[in-house]
Amino acid sequence: MLAPMEDVSDPPFRAVCKDNGAHLMYTEFISSEGLIRDAIKSKKKLDIFDYEKPVGIQIFGGDEESLSLAAKIVDATNPDLLDINFGCPVKKVACRGAGAGVLKDVPLMVRLTDAVVKSTSLPVTVKTRLGWDENTKNIEEVAERLQDVGVKALTIHGRTRTQMYKGEADWSLIAKVKNNPRTSIPIFGNGDIDSPQKALEYKNRYGVDGLMIGRAAIGYPWIFREIKHFLKTGELLEPPTIDERLDACRKHLYGSVKWKGEKLGILEMRCHYASYLKGLSHVKEFRTRLVSTDSPAEIEDIFSSLLEHYTNGIITQVQTAEIAA
């Protein structure tokens, strides 16, 4: 599954992930307050397309009424499921009683979830973390109580809120939730999967029902097909060629232009070139040119030069730590 990622998991990016084997995909998180205020930015994030199904829309909020109204709005857009974010660690969300902030108050989490479940006919899933901090890892209780109010699947990111994205994700508690005899819903594991080998190892070792992948897919949507192939055959696929890299990058770019308009589409694509080109030696000059132009024709010229320069160059998969850096 493709993880929900703000400013990343938008329709243009989801399209290239779908092409390369992502199964279930999630939108970026959407503010429930924004949706009910009819904020353009929030509404735009509801855009989903038939070719990308199954797709889940993720919302966040800390207020029952807002989440409930937002759930009704989501319902009308007809995704395959509605996900509630109880995992966002950033201050402006978690310290205002939403996202991972809700992990501090399990009864509130239960009430919020119950309100959403009762407001939609869609399957409701939740994505959360192990707990607020090292001393309050309450995911086992959280999982049981969310299941009891009708959540249909749970994704657990193996970190606490205070860890943010630092350190190594701890999947042992995820496995504990999965192995709890009271757990009957699917449990999806998340955190640090960045290679087919690790995907297989974690799937077997922790027994989860699905793997969710975030950072490793940024600029490397082939991670999905590589993992699927490895799980099925035990063999590693060849990494993408430079042509495949540029084709995906181009599709992402034109998708962005179509969805966001030329100016914004080109501007926001600038933060993705580095990841698509990561691993190529001496690529800095091309990258600098790509992020300095707003002309589609010039971007195409740079793509042509890249193709000429690196033909037959195979780029190996970049590890998550490198991407995060």
Task: Give residues in contact with ligand FMN (CB under 6 A).
Answer: 3-6, 8, 28-29, 58, 85, 87-88, 127, 157, 190-193, 213-216, 320
Per the annotation, the verdict on 88 as an active-site residue is yes
Confirm if 79 and 56 have CB atoms less than 8 A apart.
yes
- Distance of closest approach, residue 126 Cβ to ligand FMN, in angstroms: 10
Smallest separation (angstroms) from ligand FMN to the CB of 60:
8
Nearest distance, CB of residue 298 and ligand FMN, angstroms: 28
Residue tagged active-site, from 88, 95, 249, 271: 88
Sequence letter at residue 288: T
CA 226 to chain centre: 17
Cβ atoms within 10 A of the Cβ of 76, count? Answer: 8
Largest CA distance in the chain: 59
| Beta-ladder partners of 58 | 29, 83
The residue (of 256 and 303) whose beta carbon lies closer to ligand FMN is: 256
Which amino acid would we find at residue 285?
Answer: E
Q: How far apart are the C-alpha atoms of 178 and 199, rounded to whole Å?
A: 17
Residue placing its CB nearer to ligand FMN in the complex, 152 or 309:
152
| Residue (86 or 286) nearer to ligand FMN, CB | 86
Q: Which residue's beta carbon is nearest to the bound ligand FMN?
A: 214
* Cβ atoms of residues 112 and 104 within 8 Å: no
Q: How far is CA 99 from CA 84, 126, 271, in A?
A: 8, 11, 25
Q: Look up tokens 């009957």; give the residue.
A: 184
Nearer of residues 215 and 260 to ligand FMN, judged by Cβ? 215
- Residue closer to ligand FMN (CB basis): 18 or 129: 129
* Closer CB to ligand FMN, 56 or 255, in the complex: 56
Facing residues of 57 across strands? 82
**Edge-to-edge strand order for the sheet containing 55-60?**
25-31, 55-60, 81-86, 124-131, 153-160, 187-190, 210-212
CB atoms within 10 A of CB 228: 17
Q: How far is CA 29 from the centre of its chain?
A: 9
Min dist. Cβ of residue 241 to ligand FMN (A): 25
For residue 139, the minimal CB distance to ligand FMN (Å) is 14
Closest approach, Cβ 13 to ligand FMN, in A, equals 11
Residue type, 295: S
Residues with a known catalytic role: 88
